Structure 1
């Protein structure tokens, strides 16, 4: 093989050849003569002949030429697809022209293709079937009919809108051509469809240019070749996972299992203490959804806690999109098993979805995509929420929604993609509305930044994107209008949920390490910079921040890098809240979140969570850097770069989540001993009432198969004015006093007024009995209840019981 000329190449012409000794010589003469006549127009060029195991003198025709710009690459017989992969891989041009050896489309047509490429397209197809095309000598009638039938099949199944995929005269952007052909797998004619489909899925623009085409004698294509072509299309239709993708999927599952290893194999008897009371709450959500479905009750409401007012389930994150389909498992194995299964599989599926998006849209290097997706799904904020919030762990729909929105920008299948996006958005609303809102913030930041740096792309994309979003809204709204009406206007609805003054991130939190960091975790420092262990929403660590900054500086020429950097930085700044203080000073500064804080929907968002948007943005930046690094020829550069990446990521590797033995449920609830004390329409009052401080009674209710109703509870509900949200039921005097005793052990003086108030509260709760279970300060609680009721309780199957049906 002749050595490639040194220096950059402006145009590569790739010619696949198999036994072309009769036609290749005139073709090479025509191509080189045309390019030499106007070298000022075409710049530095090369012709790469990819020989597909010829048995005649095809190779000699190339090697006999003294022009070093005409090169030969050879390989075993693999078909046209193999030859094109070989030739394109050997090319070095900024543009790559692929042409058949028969030159059915004259080389002079290159002028029109190049013009189309300069207008922002990634590929320009020499087409015989668009207005303006002319045909000289035609093929045999049978071949023409078979070709038209194949073209119709391709347009229907693979490339709608493309009229001529099989004309062997195509001009590509060089880098994108090498990427697309490298990703191809087919060996025959089907590679043309496969490569164009690859570009289409990456939202690359493809132009069809009318050319003059003439059938050339000596074609080797017979009827059986059409059968092989259809077989290749069938292979293309059935997409199979690569072994690397299967391995990555398994690794993500093992990573999720390792994180939850403490309770994965015995979820009924293990508890995540860093979830505070959220594990009890979420198991109740899974259990009550299955209970409602089994008894044909309203899935949007329940009075099993918060009795008698009840709970607006749509105003709580019950994740009907998963609690409903997992209801059979919940009924069969219990809510603890169902919740554990959903969180483990959901976390792995989320990582897999980010991996798919990164491979499809960002990099092709599988190892780089794996590392980027791992950061997106297992970043410290995600690990923090993995303790307690499946709605922020099970995010597999978010990458799919992002990908579908990007498809809209291409303008190829706007109606179909708009419909699919609407269905996806509707489903995500039933998984979690706040994650969808945060994802929308991230997408707006990215789109705005990308539109600024690539205005040409934005001009082409905004119309189909807007049209697709309108179609998506038209599809989504009819599905969600009734559930949302119930959420915002139904029983026990509320307007907004305030979260206090400590819900934003400190700038130090972005640079520090999370509690569950295996290497650098510091519970005391992380606790000082976050509201609780489930809301460590930043904590990316200063090494990763420095690495991200270095990546952005090194790859700044990339529009994608600029947009990702702006997305991560914008989300980090928004997460600081309406005001923020520079560490080490006392002066506060207004933050951009102040513009959103009082707006509908945003007023209920915990603004610190906006920093979670940084995770996928940083993951994609990391994937881009790793792909570039792994392609660097210098071993020393690779070593230093990989060492830096390892040092930045090592402090973020999470330790398995903490678990403890779950306290045993008193036999009073599991054995049915409660039944004589609770009549129809009454409730069982656990003392103190369940709330955000201790929601264990929700677990006892599950163990009793939801046989009794509970006043109080742990959920989002309305305060007295009906528009402000609070955690739990609106407190009453008696419930507040009993909670104080639980927390302090101090029993106030309970005179006649307290006893009268307690009777009013017992009547409001329709209490059949009061129950004090073993717990800290149980003696103080038992003393208080005895004074309120006017008689001692009775010890029944592990609890103290006061039957309110008996007279004092």
Structure 2
């Protein structure tokens, strides 16, 4: 289940359905029914609030459908409904401490995912996905790639298959004289329509608003995922299959069985090789039990993992011996959340100072860095002043030194303007020297213009840096500074010695100063600052000596532009 341990543990829901069916038919006593149902409700609420909320929603819908078709049995169905309400009351008393805490910390209503992706396509019930046995064998059905949840195939539970749809039609035809037939059909249709979400899509194109918009203002249902709703219609389909097979005549019973078996086979996923559970993502640090000797019991640990959900697999495989600072998903905070720093998505890098504050506020005492993410995130942990206390088993463990975490001072950079219209100002910045001999700051040599270029070792910028050296020699009145940015290798190349540079060269491993200019430009790019810190020119790409001269002359001409201060 892709690390969704909470979604695996949904057994209390069908168990509750089983108990209700037993009670309606009279094969279980009232005390046992209420007691067992209350335990099932406590279990599902303890595992996942979303499942509890959606199970309650579909339980109410099922009760309404049952009342509508109950006829002379309406009083019995209503009595079972009251008993269910009593079980909810008992569960509420048992869960009271958690409910009080939840209500005291009720987050603001906010969507965790766009409404466009929180629905299934109207063709979803009929068309098999590439991840199913039949779907992988029929390339023409790749229209499903345009479905709203195609980017999250694990979330799409909408596929039913032609065989099971045919089973429902034949069931309605053969059992049309029974009232419960129409109740089951109504529930399946309601669950299917709700699974379309608040935006109706047909073949990937939005065509209107769906009934899911009704739940858009409910605290517990706002972020419930409609693509998961077919799990409830699947329960009804199971009941339909059981009734349809049980009422089959001996002569044609095998035909009904064939339809059901074919429908079930169409749902089978493609499994390249066992095991389906992806244990290969677990590092030896976890599987060999080394964590027990490195981490403290119940310690709050922040794992930096290869894939979303791996932290849950780590915790499960470790028998929940450590805590996590954040759940798999939660309410959107006012400040950035660092819940998922992933080796596979190395483009995102938080600022060390707020990251350190977040770690401290979350009570994190150890950061476990997967080796697959080490090259990218090691500079961040070092900038945050965490120390490596253990390395082995595919991970490294980082902790705060005894005197606490004190991140290095970050540059304060305020930039305004656009790509073609420079403007704004740099109030101050600081960058360590390439040879760690000191630190360059803007205020060290105030009163002189500054030409500052940003490069990375991957850009093959030697000719660019040499041209800047010639410009520097020709214009001693201009301060020159090159900043090696985003270089994550342990040993940074000393271009000063390799190229014979006489101007200042600094290192910004996290590329903070380059990112402060809010420009998605590839490196290198070069900035000219006026003596007062104003940004008067920005040029992308590698420059030759004439290019630096042009940048300088254009910058001098730009000094009359008005300043747009902000930040």
**TM-score, normalised on structure 1?**
0.41
Residue 425 (structure 1) shift: 3.8
**2:203 is matched with which residue: 583, 593, 597?**
583
**1:805 is matched with which residue: 401, 404, 410?**
401
Distance 1:772 1:483 in 2: 33
Aligned pair in 2 of structure 1 residues 551, 783: CA closer, same or farther (>3 Å)?
A: same
Distance 2:124 2:99 in 1: 35
Q: How does 1:338-487 map to 2 (within 5 A)?
A: 389-393=7-11, 395-403=13-21, 406=24, 421-422=37-38, 424-430=40-46, 432-458=48-74, 460-461=75-76, 464-465=79-80, 467-469=82-84, 471-487=86-102
- Once the two structures are superposed, residues 733-763 of structure 1 have per-residue CA deviations (whole angstroms, 9 ceiling, x without a partner) of xx58x93886236889xxxxx5655665565
Distance 2:16 2:298 in 1: 43
Distance 1:603 1:626 in 2: 38
Distance 2:256 2:316 in 1: 55
CA contact (8 A) 1:516 1:655 kept: yes
CA contact (8 A) 1:571 1:614 kept: yes
- Quote the residue 2:372 is aligned against: 775
Tell me whether 1:621 sits opposite 2:240 in the alignment: yes
Tell me whether 1:500 sits opposite 2:120 in the alignment: no
- Quote the residue 2:212 is aligned against: 593
Distance 1:473 1:672 in 2: 40
Residue 538 (structure 1) shift: 1.4
- Once the two structures are superposed, residues 708-745 of structure 1 have per-residue CA deviations (whole angstroms, 9 ceiling, x without a partner) of x66x4443444436xxxxxxxx636xx58x93886236
- Quote the residue 2:158 is aligned against: 538
Gaps of 5+ in 1: 1-274, 283-316, 318-388, 722-729, 749-753
Distance 1:701 1:465 in 2: 38
- Quote the residue 1:560 is aligned against: 180
Aligned pair in 2 of structure 1 residues 648, 423: CA closer, same or farther (>3 Å)?
A: closer
Residue 544 (structure 1) shift: 1.7
**1:602 is matched with which residue: 195, 214, 221?**
221
- Quote the residue 1:193 is aligned against: none
Distance 1:681 1:714 in 2: 16
Distance 1:704 1:462 in 2: 43
Residue 576 (structure 1) shift: 0.8
Tell me whether 1:652 sits opposite 2:267 in the alignment: yes
Q: What SS does the corresponding residue of 2:217 show, helix, strand or coil? A: coil
Aligned pair in 2 of structure 1 residues 701, 473: CA closer, same or farther (>3 Å)?
A: closer
Residue 445 (structure 1) shift: 3.6
Aligned pair in 2 of structure 1 residues 662, 544: CA closer, same or farther (>3 Å)?
A: same
Distance 1:450 1:705 in 2: 42
- Quote the residue 1:743 is aligned against: 345
- Quote the residue 1:731 is aligned against: 336
Residue 485 (structure 1) shift: 2.1
Residue 549 (structure 1) shift: 1.4
Residue 644 (structure 1) shift: 4.2
Aligned pair in 2 of structure 1 residues 788, 471: CA closer, same or farther (>3 Å)?
A: closer
Distance 2:23 2:290 in 1: 50
Distance 2:186 2:133 in 1: 29
Q: What SS does the corresponding residue of 2:371 show, helix, strand or coil? A: coil
Residue 507 (structure 1) shift: 1.1
Q: How does 1:113-124 map to 2 (within 5 A)?
A: none
CA contact (8 A) 1:698 1:713 kept: no
Aligned pair in 2 of structure 1 residues 540, 685: CA closer, same or farther (>3 Å)?
A: closer
Distance 1:792 1:418 in 2: 54
CA contact (8 A) 1:401 1:424 kept: no
The CA RMSD measured in Å over matched residues stands at: 4.6
CA contact (8 A) 1:578 1:592 kept: yes
CA contact (8 A) 1:518 1:651 kept: yes
CA contact (8 A) 1:505 1:575 kept: yes
CA contact (8 A) 1:429 1:436 kept: yes
Aligned pair in 2 of structure 1 residues 585, 405: CA closer, same or farther (>3 Å)?
A: same
Residue 455 (structure 1) shift: 2.9
Q: Which has the larger radius of gyration?
A: 1
Residue 462 (structure 1) shift: 5.8
Residue 670 (structure 1) shift: 1.1
- Once the two structures are superposed, residues 539-573 of structure 1 have per-residue CA deviations (whole angstroms, 9 ceiling, x without a partner) of 10123213311321232122121111111111111
What is the number of equivalent residue pairs in this alignment?
392
CA contact (8 A) 2:188 2:233 kept: yes
CA contact (8 A) 1:494 1:717 kept: no
Aligned pair in 2 of structure 1 residues 525, 414: CA closer, same or farther (>3 Å)?
A: same
Residue 612 (structure 1) shift: 1.7
Q: What SS does the corresponding residue of 2:218 show, helix, strand or coil? A: coil
- Quote the residue 1:571 is aligned against: 191
Residue 806 (structure 1) shift: 7.5
CA contact (8 A) 2:3 2:312 kept: no
Aligned pair in 2 of structure 1 residues 713, 553: CA closer, same or farther (>3 Å)?
A: same
- Quote the residue 2:563 is aligned against: none
Distance 1:643 1:465 in 2: 35
Distance 1:579 1:624 in 2: 34
- Once the two structures are superposed, residues 500-525 of structure 1 have per-residue CA deviations (whole angstroms, 9 ceiling, x without a partner) of 32122111111122455344457966
